[in-house]
């Protein structure tokens, strides 16, 4: 059994929960970004060890990661609330899509 894959799945569930529940405030977005960063690092470890997932799983995760970083940066500026909200929603949808694709690839 590949324990890194099990940890990746468990953290993936945590990332999906964060994307649905915590991202609506700046601190929640930061927490989600940190957990997503850890998830991406574990994913890179799995790729290096020979496991593969569909390419759109990787793309959705990276787009979400970039989106949360942009949303955090824009949240520091006045009058950007609507843009931050839109980017956060798109990023959260990307996280949930990546979680779905990853679960299907893992047979769940």
Residue 88: the pLDDT is 96
Cβ contacts of residue 15 below 8 Å, gap of 6+?
32, 35, 36, 39, 95, 99
Residue 39: the pLDDT is 96
Tell me which CATH code domain 3-105 carries: 1.20.120
CA-wise closest residue to 62 among 91, 24, 25: 91
3-state helix, strand, coil split of the chain in percent (to 5) is: 80, 0, 20
Cα distance between residue 33 and residue 47, in whole Å: 21
pLDDT at 97 over 60: yes
Domain ranges (residues) in the chain: 3-105
> Over the stretch 5-48, which tens digit does the pLDDT of each residue have?
999 999 999 999 999 999 999 899 999 999 999 999 999 999 99
Q: Is pLDDT larger for residue 30 or for residue 108? A: 30
Residue 23 is given by DSSP the state T
> Over the stretch 20-32, which tens digit does the pLDDT of each residue have?
999 999 899 999 9
Computed over every residue of the chain, the mean pLDDT equals 93
- For 92, other C-beta atoms within 10 Å of its C-beta total 24
């Amino acid at each position: 059994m590949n324990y890194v894959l099990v940890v990746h799945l468990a953290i993936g569930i945590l990332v999906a929960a964060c994307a649905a529940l915590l991202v609506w405030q700046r601190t929640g977005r930061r927490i989600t970004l940190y957990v997503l960063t850890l998830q991406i690092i574990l994913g890179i470890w799995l790729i290096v060890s020979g496991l593969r997932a569909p390419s759109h799983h990787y793309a959705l995760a990276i787009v979400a990661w970039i989106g949360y970083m942009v949303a955090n940066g824009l949240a520091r500026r006045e009058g950007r609330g609507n843009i931050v909200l839109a980017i956060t929603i798109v990023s959260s949808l990307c996280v949930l899509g990546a979680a779905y694709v990853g679960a299907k690839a893992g047979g769940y």
